[in-house]
A and B are shown apart, each in its own frame.
Chain A
Amino acid sequence: MSELLELRGVGKRFPGVVALDDVDFTVRAGEIHALLGENGAGKSTLIKVLTGVYPADEGEFRLGGASIRPGSPRAAEELGISTVYQEVNLVPSLSVAENITLGRQPGRAGLLNWRAIRRRARAALARLELDCDVDAELGALSVAHQQMVAIARALDTRARLLILDEPTASLDEHEVAELFKIMRQLRADGLGIVFVTHFLDQVYAVTDRLTVLRNGARVGEFATAGLPRLELVGRMLGREVSAAEFAAQGAASPADHAAPPVLATHGLGRRGAVAPFDLSLRGGEVVGLGGLLGSGRTETARLLFGLDRADSGTISVHGAPCRIDSPREAVRLGLAFCSEDRKAEGLLPNLSVRENLLIAQQGRRGALRALTRAEQEQLCAHYIAALQIKTPDPETPVKNLSGGNQQKVLLARWLATQPAVIILDEPTRGIDVGAKQEIEQLIAGLRADGLAVLFISSEIDEVVRNCSRVLVLRERRLTGEIADGDLTADHLMHLMAGTHE
C-alpha cells in the first residue's frame, strides 16, 4: 500500500502552549487510521493544521507524494482532504441535495442547474449506498442520516483523504454499524480515512492502524491488531514514573465502613448520559471515579449535583432520601462541585478574588443575610493563607490569577460552604506541577477533616495516589470497583480498557 498522506515534523504553538511538537503522521491509501489521545493531546490541532484552519509553524506536508500546504479549509478540500466534524455543520433548513452541493452548485451566470444539483447529490448518496430523498429537508433527518449526508458532501469533492472527527459521538449502536459499513466500503475504494474517536471498541472494530498523541507529541504508530488494548490505554494516558515518591500516601487509612454513607444513590441514571448506578460515599474517604474521556465521569457528577435531571433512581444524603434538581438544592444539602471547566462553569472572571471566594457561601445564606465586610475579609484572609493562594490583593479580578491559583480560589469557594461532600472534576487540569501537589495535599487534608470526596481525574497515577477506592466507568456504565490493596495502576487500566479477566 502506498503512503497517501505524510506529515513530518509538524509543530504548532499558541501563546504559552505548544499544541503540536514535531509530530509525524502517515496515512496510507485504502486504510482506516485511528487518531487517539486524551483531551489536549493535540488531535484536533493536528486536524485543523491538516485542513488549513490554522497554519502550521513548521513541518512538511505531502499528499500522494506532492508537497502541499493547505491555507484554508477550502484549499484543503480542493487538494482532496475532506473533513466531517463531530457536530454536523450543514444547513438544516436546506434540502439534502442543496447541502451536498452547497458552495459548488453546478450552474451558469448565477443561475442554478437544479437538475444537475439533484443528479450530483444522488450520485454522491449512491456511492454510500444510501437510500435518501434528495429533496428532503436536512433537519427532518435523524442525526445519523445527517452525518451520512455530511460524508456524502465530503465525498462529492472527489476526496482522497477523509477525516472523520468523532463522527459516532451522537450515534446509537445500529447507526454506528451502518457508518462502519460505509467506512469499509470507502476503504475498499482506495480512500485513506482518518478516524478520531474516544471509543476503544470502535477502534478495534474498524481501524487498521493507529497513531497515539499525548501532550502534543506523537507517542507512536501501531498496527491496531498488534497492540493490546491495555497497552494502548497506557500509551494514551502516559504513566508518571517520577510521581512514585509520594505515591500511596493518599491511599492510606480506608474509611470506617460502619459509618452511614454521607451520599448514596440507588439506580440513579439518565438516558444517554450514564446508565443507572449505585454509589455510596462515606465521610473521610476519597473515592475516585475512573474512566476514559467520554466514559460518563462528568455526567455522573452532573447528576449528583442536580445539573441534569435523573430519569431513574434515588439519592439520599445522610440517609435521608432527597431530590436534587438544581445546584442550589445540592449546595443546600451540603454538596459542592468543582467543575472541570473552570472558565465556563467556575470563575466569575471580572469579579474579585474575595467575591469569587464567598459567592457560594453567600448564595447558601441567601441575599438578605449578607456577610459583613469584616466577615468577608476574615474569610478571604483565612483561605488565602490556608490554600496559599498567590494574589496581590483580595480585590484583584480573579481572571488575573494563574490557573493553579484560580483553581484554589474555586476550591476555597466550596470549602467556605463547609460541605459534607465535595466532587472534584479534574481539579489538577491545566495547572503546574507545584500547584498540583498542593492540591493533592489539600485533598488529603479534606479527607482527614471527615469530608467525603469524589475525585475525578484522567491521570491514572493521580487517582491511585489520592483515592482509597475507585469506581470505574466504561462507555457510560459503572463497570467495577477497586478498593484498598487491589488499587494499582495496572488493575485500574485493565478495568478502564475493559480487558479485566
Chain B
Amino acid sequence: MIHKLDARRMFCPMPVIRTQDKIKELAVGDLLEVTSTDPGALSDIPAWCRINGHKVVDCREQDDEVIITVEVCSE
C-alpha cells in the first residue's frame, strides 16, 4: 500500500521526524512517499532509513521538491 507524507516547508530534521513517526503506523512492505522542499532531506531520510532498516526505493528532485519513496522493512 502506498502512503503519502507532505513534509513541504519543513526543514530537517522535521521531515525525518515526520517520516519516522509515520512509518511507526505502517506495516512491513508498505511504501511511503515523502515530499519535501528541504534538499537536506535527500541525505537525511536515506541515512535514517539505512540505520533503521528501511529501504529507499526511489529518490528524485522535481522542480523545487524532493520526493523520496521508502519501503517499510522492519517493525
> Do A and B come together as binding partners?
no
Please list the residues of chain A having a beta carbon within 8 angstroms of any beta carbon in chain B.
none
